[in-house]
Amino acid sequence: MFDASGLNRGLLMVRIVIGVTIFLHGYNHVWGGGKIGGTARWFASLGMKPGIVHAWLASVTELVCGPLLILGLLNPLAAAGVVGVMAVAFVTNHRPNGFFIFRPGEGYEYVLNLGVAALALGALGPGEWSLDKALYSGTIAQVQLFGITGLFITAVAGLGGAAVLLLGFWRPAPKEPAAESEPAGA
């Protein structure tokens, strides 16, 4: 017989770890290091124009979606926020640097793991120990926002939102052409 309490404990742990991580990331963007101004300059250097708009957009998404995941409230949308922010980070900054985070420029292992874990939360749902379950259990209007429906909402909102944002606002600096080398023996 299947004991759902192990699954619910696991979902709660994943929600808490991802939620705290994303919240603290947003907090650091706004109040840590170079504060929001430094974050804006960094976003602009990545080609996200105007940098201040995208710094606030990413930071507010992280500050809101983190607690929503921890609470298990609006789970597919909270997970979609994480997926979207990680997808944009993957494309604009981490992808060209290879897999490992410790490589110069920071590789994509961090954003890949958080993004895929958020997609999984969209598919699995928040579990029994969540506000979604407490608020919507037993109501006539209950919609099961997990399984293929949750995954679809999370993927379309997260990846679709990231794609729209990148297509509309990402303007990376053009690559400099490689210097031509002189032929050997010249």
3-state class percentages of the chain: helix first, strand second, coil last, to nearest 5: 70, 0, 30
pLDDT number for residue 178: 65
Cβ contact 135:62 at 8 Å: no
Integer angstrom CA distances of residue 91 from 110, 180, 184: 13, 28, 38
pLDDT digits (tens, 9 = 90+) for 89-129: 999 999 999 999 988 889 999 999 999 999 999 999 999 99
d(C-alpha 88, C-alpha 176), whole Å: 23
Is 2 among the domain residues?
A: no
Q: Which residue has the tokens 């050997």?
A: 184
Is 84 among the domain residues?
A: yes
CA nearest neighbour of 15 among 106, 108, 95, 133: 133
Is 42 among the domain residues?
A: yes
Is 58 among the domain residues?
A: yes
Is 35 among the domain residues?
A: yes
pLDDT digits (tens, 9 = 90+) for 65-97: 999 999 999 999 999 999 999 999 999 999 999
Is 1 among the domain residues?
A: no
141: exposed, middle or buried (Cβ count in 10 Å: 0-12, 13-18, 19+): exposed
**Count of domains in the chain?**
1
d(C-alpha 147, C-alpha 18), whole Å: 19
Range of the domain at 15: 9-134+143-169
Is 179 among the domain residues?
A: no
* H or E, element range at 46: none
Residue 149 has pLDDT above 70, yes or no: yes
For residue 104, is the peptide bond before it cis, meaning its omega torsion is within 30 degrees of 0?
no
HSE of 7 in the Cβ direction (CA atoms, 13 Å)?
10
Residue 184 has pLDDT above 90, yes or no: no
- Give mean pLDDT, residues 174-179: 74
Cβ contact 106:55 at 8 Å: no
Is 165 among the domain residues?
A: yes
